[in-house]
Amino acid sequence: MKKQILAALMISTLVVSCTKSTTKSETTENADGSVTTETTTVSQTGIDTSKIDKAKEDAKAKVDEAGNKIDAAAQKAKDKIDATADKTKNDLHKAGQDIKTEANKVGKDAKEAAAKGASKVEDAAKKLKDDLNK
């Protein structure tokens, strides 16, 4: 679509530039001795096919070049987006691993604390039992 619009613009410019205007001035002397000047402008649309063919080729080359630049810019933007997405994915994966590691440490610490607490309760229960038996 972009190539068609650019090509239409180039061709319309070419057609306008192929219009040729000729101005003719004619001076006549009247019978009473006065001079009259008439100016006539003639517009001709002379289309030279070789110029049109060259202009079409130039337009096509420029349209192709513009299309290639647009495609290159789009590819560059896509590559940047992909790189950013990959980096974000890796960062999130690392953060998940860090959270998992820390959660395991917290779980281990909680188990150790529970074991120490249970051991103290058992010791206190034994002591209480011994005291009651005396």
Does 129 reside within a domain?
yes
**pLDDT computed for residue 93 by the predictor:** 94
- List the structure tokens of 14: 């070419």
Burial of 107 per CB tally in 10 Å (0-12, 13-18, 19+): exposed
**pLDDT computed for residue 77 by the predictor:** 95
**pLDDT computed for residue 90 by the predictor:** 94
Query: pTM of the full predicted structure?
Result: 0.42
**pLDDT computed for residue 83 by the predictor:** 95
For residue 65, the enclosing domain spans 2-24+38-133
Does 33 reside within a domain?
no
Does 117 reside within a domain?
yes
Does 72 reside within a domain?
yes
Does 64 reside within a domain?
yes
Work out the mean pLDDT of the chain and round it to a whole number. Answer: 82
Q: What is the pLDDT of residues 70-108, one digit of tens each?
A: 999 999 999 999 999 999 999 999 999 999 999 888 888
Does 58 reside within a domain?
yes
Does 30 reside within a domain?
no
Outline where the chain has alpha helix (H): 2-17, 49-133
Alpha-carbon torsion (96, 101, 107, 109), positive or negative:
negative
For residues 20 and 45, the answer to whether their CB atoms sit within 8 Å is yes
Per the structure, how many domains does the chain have? 1
**pLDDT computed for residue 75 by the predictor:** 95
In this structure, of 11-25, 46-60, 77-91, the range with the lowest mean pLDDT score is: 11-25
